[in-house]
Amino acid sequence: MFRFGEALLTLWLLVTLCFVLMRAAPGGPFDVEREVTPEIRARLEARYHLDEPLPSQYLRYLGQLAQGDLGPSFQYPDYTVNELIAGGLQVSVPLGFAALVLALLVGVPLGLLAGWHEGRIGDHVASGIGLIGLALPKFVLAPLLVLCFAVWLGWLPAGGWDATDPRYAVLPVIALAAPNLAYVVRLTRVSLIDVLATDYILAARARGIAGRDLLLHHALRPTLAPVIAWIAPATIALVTGSVVVEQVFGIPGIGRYFVQGALNRDYTLVMGVALTAGVAILLVNLVVDALRGWMDPRLRQSAD
């Protein structure tokens, strides 16, 4: 119950901060290149209640949120923010989930290889792959992937989106997964090295347990506990990274809607995307805490 109250307080603070910052930014949703007449501007502002005092707008928006209504979009008048975000999530969620799974499926084995063979060739190779992933930010890696696999080789599309063709998802998923994969490799390596130095692992070695049995049945579970905890900040990285990746590849996800909404001062769209991302991050944090408590009972006892 206490965690639920914390989540509600966090969401309220997020909504309030977004509301204040969007209104404080210069310009407005109807500041276009071709200036509209004062009469048209007045009608538009009255339609969206922008002619009301800011406290009234804020309370009206909170009332809409309580009903699950994110409001109308200023720049997409034929759609509500709920409809835009629902369509964007259909693209962004599968891409983000695929990137996270790829980072874990590749990063965990590489990290285990590096930690198990500390100081040897396997460690150097796996750590080198991790360093490459950290050295290439998404805004550099994404164009490089397009240049290599789309322009030079012609194997994959350079951009756009077609939900029926999985080839359109390959390069965006790799661009999203690469930095997270590097973190997984380094985190798993360090965690395994620490676990192998603990007393209960030394005792297991003394009983003749070694090799695969030692790794899988004694060292793997505590090694993965920090990796599970990393999923929460990784979700934040995926949300922020999707803004860059979806812009580069021209993907109609929530990241691209966030950028367009910010540029066009579409208050409700930006706040809707921010609130959706905040809810997703809070839910992931709750799930990760539960998983960590299951993997390490000491965390559950300390929380009690």
List domains and CATH numbers for the chain: 86-258 (1.10.3720.10)
Task: Give the pLDDT confidence score for residue 263 in this predicted structure.
Answer: 79
Q: Quickly state the pLDDT bin for 32 (edges 50, 70, 90).
A: low
User: Region 8-23: what's the mean pLDDT?
Assistant: 85
User: Region 133-157: what's the mean pLDDT?
Assistant: 84
Q: Of all helices (H) and strands (E), which one includes residue 88?
A: helix 81-116
User: How many whole angstroms separate alpha carbon 122 and alpha carbon 137?
Assistant: 25
Residue 292: C-alpha distances to residues 6, 212, 231, 235 (Å):
19, 24, 11, 16
Task: Give the pLDDT confidence score for residue 69 in this predicted structure.
Answer: 87
User: How many whole angstroms separate alpha carbon 103 and alpha carbon 107?
Assistant: 5
User: Region 180-198: what's the mean pLDDT?
Assistant: 85
Residues 6+ apart with CB under 8 A from 179: 133, 134, 136, 137, 138, 141, 237, 241
Task: Give the pLDDT confidence score for residue 202 in this predicted structure.
Answer: 77
User: How many whole angstroms separate alpha carbon 137 and alpha carbon 134?
Assistant: 7
Collapsing DSSP to helix, strand or coil, 153 comes out as: coil
Is residue 302 over pLDDT 60?
A: no
pLDDT digits (tens, 9 = 90+) for 69-121: 888 888 888 888 999 888 888 888 888 889 989 989 988 898 888 888 877 88
Report which of 258, 261, 257, 265 is spatially closest to residue 25, judged by C-alpha positions. 265
Is residue 36 over pLDDT 70?
A: no
Residue 151: C-alpha distances to residues 147, 159, 166 (Å):
5, 11, 18
pLDDT digits (tens, 9 = 90+) for 154-188: 888 988 888 888 899 899 999 888 888 888 888 88
Task: Give the pLDDT confidence score for residue 293 in this predicted structure.
Answer: 63
Q: Quickly state the pLDDT bin for 48 (edges 50, 70, 90).
A: confident
Task: Give the pLDDT confidence score for residue 34 in this predicted structure.
Answer: 53
**What is the DSSP track for 154-188?**
--S-SS---TT-THHHHHHHHHHHHHHHHHHHHHH
Q: What whole-number percentage of the chain has pLDDT above 70? A: 91
Q: Quickly state the pLDDT bin for 239 (edges 50, 70, 90).
A: confident
User: How many whole angstroms separate alpha carbon 222 and alpha carbon 226?
Assistant: 8
Greater confidence, 163 or 60?
60
Amino acid at 116: W
Q: Quickly state the pLDDT bin for 47 (edges 50, 70, 90).
A: confident
Across all residues in the chain, what is the average pLDDT? Answer: 81
List the structure tokens of 19.
């509301």
Is residue 31 over pLDDT 70?
A: no
Q: Which residue, chain included where needed, has tokens 């007449």?
A: 37
Is residue 299 over pLDDT 60?
A: no
**What is the DSSP track for 11-39?**
HHHHHHHHHHHHHHSSS-TT--SSPPPHH
Is residue 297 over pLDDT 70?
A: no
